[in-house]
Amino acid sequence: MTATPATPVPDDAAPSKKTQSGETRPQTIGELRASGYQPKTVREELRANLIAKIRRGDELFPGVVGYDQTVIPQIENAILSGQDIILLGERGQAKTRIARTLTNLLDEAIPVVAGSEINDDPFRPISRAARDLVAEKGDETPIEWVGRDRRYGEKLATPDTTIADLIGEVDPIKVAEGRYLSDELTISYGLIPRTNRGIFAINELPDLAERIQVGLLNIMEERDVQIRGYKIRLPLDVFVVASANPEDYTNRGRIITPLKDRYGSQIRTHYPETIELEMDIMDQERSVFATDGIQVTVPAFMKEIVAEVTHGARRSHDVSQRSGVSVRMSVANYENLVSNATRRSIRLGEKQAAPRVSDLDGLLASTTGKIELEGMGEVREEQVVDKLIQGAIVTVFNRHFSVRQFDRLVLAFDNGLAVEASDMMPSMDYVKQLSHLEGMSEAVGKLGVGGNLAAVASAVEFVLEGLHLNRRLNKDAGRGPARYHR
């Protein structure tokens, strides 16, 4: 379910003559026929491989988290029914990743007529060039094997997408060579024909112009295509997956009704339903860089805060929910949080780094670009982000603690204790000031940070900020270190 897409693992650059088990593959139509090979449609192929994976208990969509009980069963039903799919969801809900991962349900490789531009089935070629070659050479027609990666096509729909992009165009060079305009050999095929016998994904479908949607409609159902007034029949075998934002797809009338009707299954994706799933995706998708001499530890409560910021944004009335709040925001925020802690350790010469509450200021840059505000101009982005961060800290603090358990610690502040905190304060300063106080050591132990000084400092600051936001401590914040007191 991550805005970071998974690219199918490429097969060998050159078609292999051997299978993974070491068997030699047929290299002509005659050899293919003698081997007993039986061609399948792409839907039959997807269905058979899906059934086999389910029976073996294989993971169907690696890297897609949180859809096991919701989206994936619907996709399985659509494939078992042989239906094209449209995935409806806001940005960052793994729609593209799901489409690309469908290639795992294709066979390792399929035979095509050698040199075919549109993966012609050796037994049932549909392009003029392949038909002529088979007619000329018969069983001696050479074939090649096409891997999964070459059977997937993808296009981001934009208003300037043309029929030539998707379906094809007359090649003027071929006409200049002496062929007639009506000759099928003059056609330069587009993305969809080149994905014949495979999976074609079109992202943000409603952004296609209506006349282009009509062309897609014909490809999906009637198989008749007109290029420059010349009508050809292309019985393509393509499994079509589309994605769209629900707002565009259902409310704005930007997709023609007949095209909607051609998709067998309309499947609604969603954001992670729990904080735990959000954190799993953050851990899975974030970029990890090692820094020589520094050991980075991220306390669980800091991960929770990052995830809660995103979940809070998805509930906020200040944030537009029409475009959604992507999981990419959680990932980017997590990366910036870790980077801020690493930067501190580099500057202070510390060997341990752990993000703190004061590092959350680093989330501003990675949050503001990923949310859209309701009522532009009425409220500043910085104010919204600050409100989201504070709400996340309170939620996580109250999940772990009861404010009443810190009565004795608060009493020390009543007696004149004051503590400074900042994102550039050495970890040992926190430990010296507070870790010995009654209530603090128990809280640090409950947060499970162990003996890691940087993590202990993070826990101490988390407790102080939690007490402040629960109105048990005051906080003076401005330029320089913040000061907690009564």
Average pLDDT over residues 407-420: 88
**Separation between Cα atoms, residue 214 and residue 294, nearest integer Å:** 58
Tell whether 248 and 281 lie within a shared domain: no
SS3 325: coil
- Residue 371 and residue 329 in contact, taking contact as beta carbons nearer than 8 Å: yes
- Residue 243 and residue 203 in contact, taking contact as beta carbons nearer than 8 Å: yes
**Separation between Cα atoms, residue 343 and residue 379, nearest integer Å:** 31
Q: Which two tokens stand for residue 335?
A: 């990366």
**Separation between Cα atoms, residue 100 and residue 98, nearest integer Å:** 5
**Separation between Cα atoms, residue 179 and residue 233, nearest integer Å:** 19
Residue at which a domain ends, from 268, 283, 316:
268
**Separation between Cα atoms, residue 341 and residue 343, nearest integer Å:** 5
Output the pTM of the full model: 0.84
- Residue 201 and residue 261 in contact, taking contact as beta carbons nearer than 8 Å: no
- The radius of gyration of the chain's CA atoms, rounded to the nearest angstrom, is 29
In a domain, 15, yes or no: no
**Separation between Cα atoms, residue 143 and residue 380, nearest integer Å:** 62
- Residue 337 and residue 359 in contact, taking contact as beta carbons nearer than 8 Å: yes
Q: Is 252 a residue whose pLDDT tops 70? A: no
Tell whether 47 and 194 lie within a shared domain: yes
Which 8-state DSSP code applies to residue 356? -
In a domain, 171, yes or no: yes
- Residue pLDDT, tens place only, 344-381: 999 999 999 999 999 999 999 999 988 888 876 667 88
- Residue pLDDT, tens place only, 317-351: 999 888 789 999 999 999 999 999 999 999 999 99
Q: Which amino acid is at 363?
A: L
CATH number, position 111 = 3.40.50.300
Tell whether 449 and 464 lie within a shared domain: yes
- Residue pLDDT, tens place only, 16-65: 466 655 568 999 999 999 999 999 999 999 999 999 999 999 999 998 99
Q: Report angle CA 271, 275, 281 to the nearest 5 degrees.
A: 65
Confidence class of residue 12 from pLDDT cuts 50, 70 and 90?
very low
For β-strands 168-170 and 152-156, DSSP reports them as unpaired
Average pLDDT over residues 109-135: 93
In a domain, 1, yes or no: no
In a domain, 191, yes or no: yes
**Residue-wise DSSP of 213-264:** HHHHHHHHTT-EEEETTEEEE----EEEEEEE-HIIIIIS--S-HHHHHH-S
| Exposed/middle/buried for residue 249 (C-beta within 10 Å: 0-12, 13-18, 19+) | buried
Give the per-residue pLDDT at 11: 43
**Residue-wise DSSP of 157-188:** --TT--HHHHTEEE-HHHHHTT--TT-GGGEE
**Separation between Cα atoms, residue 39 and residue 384, nearest integer Å:** 57
SS3 474: strand
Q: Is 153 a residue whose pLDDT tops 60? A: yes
SS3 113: strand
Tell whether 303 and 199 lie within a shared domain: no
What percent of the chain shows pLDDT beyond 90?
57
- Residue 84 and residue 262 in contact, taking contact as beta carbons nearer than 8 Å: yes
Residue at which a domain ends, from 244, 268, 292:
268
Tell whether 363 and 233 lie within a shared domain: no
- Residue 196 and residue 188 in contact, taking contact as beta carbons nearer than 8 Å: no
Residue at which a domain ends, from 268, 291, 315:
268
Q: Supply the mean pLDDT for the chain.
A: 87
Tell whether 213 and 165 lie within a shared domain: yes
CB atoms within 10 A of CB 56: 7
Tell whether 311 and 204 lie within a shared domain: no
**Separation between Cα atoms, residue 423 and residue 361, nearest integer Å:** 9
Tell whether 378 and 400 lie within a shared domain: yes
| Exposed/middle/buried for residue 61 (C-beta within 10 Å: 0-12, 13-18, 19+) | buried
Average pLDDT over residues 264-282: 94
Tell whether 225 and 287 lie within a shared domain: no
Residue whose C-alpha is closest to residue 260's, from 269, 271, 248? 248
Residue whose C-alpha is closest to residue 311's, from 356, 349, 278? 278
Give the per-residue pLDDT at 309: 97
Angle between helices 407-414 and 453-469 (to 10 degrees): 80
Alpha helices in 325-406 (DSSP H): 327-348, 363-368, 381-400
In a domain, 250, yes or no: yes
Provide the residue range defining the domain that includes 115.
29-268
Tell whether 207 and 76 lie within a shared domain: yes
Q: How many domains does the chain have?
A: 2
In a domain, 11, yes or no: no
Give the per-residue pLDDT at 18: 60
Angle between helices 275-285 and 327-348 (to 10 degrees): 60
**Phi, psi angle pair for 108, to nearest 5°:** -55, -40
Tell whether 336 and 423 lie within a shared domain: yes
In a domain, 8, yes or no: no
In a domain, 4, yes or no: no
What's the length of the chain?
486
Residues 6+ apart with CB under 8 A from 312: 388, 391, 392, 395
Tell whether 346 and 202 lie within a shared domain: no
Give the per-residue pLDDT at 3: 43
